[in-house]
Amino acid sequence: CAVKLTTMSYPSCIILFLTLLLLFLALFPGAFSCCMKISDEISKGILRRVEKFEIQKAGGLCYLEAVILHMKGRKFCVNPWNRKVEKMMKKMKHKIHRSKSHVRKQRRARRTKQKEQKH
């Protein structure tokens, strides 16, 4: 708004700037959640407390490949090629898969028991 202050007032410039900022944030929600640095080392204690993880690909707005570890309101960006991290991801995927199939089996057994009791 430094171009012509005579045609556009200062409050209008602020409103325009905020509108453009909100538009940018709506179009690119991940713009400010990229890992800018990654850690090569991660302690076993942190890995044990991981609740979920995300894989950040290089490209677009994020320029680093990383694994984002989430735990109780905290995030850690780590090297995706770290062996400890790779093992943790395999274990978590296996646990999630196993627990989901286990829940399905329990539901199926519960439904059959309910049907048997009705008859």
Question: How far is Cα 26 from Cα 18, in angstroms, rounded to an integer?
Answer: 12
pLDDT exceeds 60 at position 31:
no
The encoded tokens of residue 28 equal 């690119």
CB atoms closer than 10 angstroms to residue 110: 10
Q: Where are the domains of the chain?
A: 35-117
pTM, full prediction: 0.54
- What is the predicted pLDDT for the residue at 22? 75
**In this structure, CATH architecture of domain 35-117:** Beta Barrel (2.40)
Instruction: Identify the band that residue 111 occupies on the pLDDT scale cut at 50, 70 and 90.
Output: low
Q: How do residues 54-106 score in pLDDT, each as one tens digit?
A: 888 888 778 899 999 988 888 899 999 999 999 998 888 755 433 333 444 55
- What is the predicted pLDDT for the residue at 84? 93
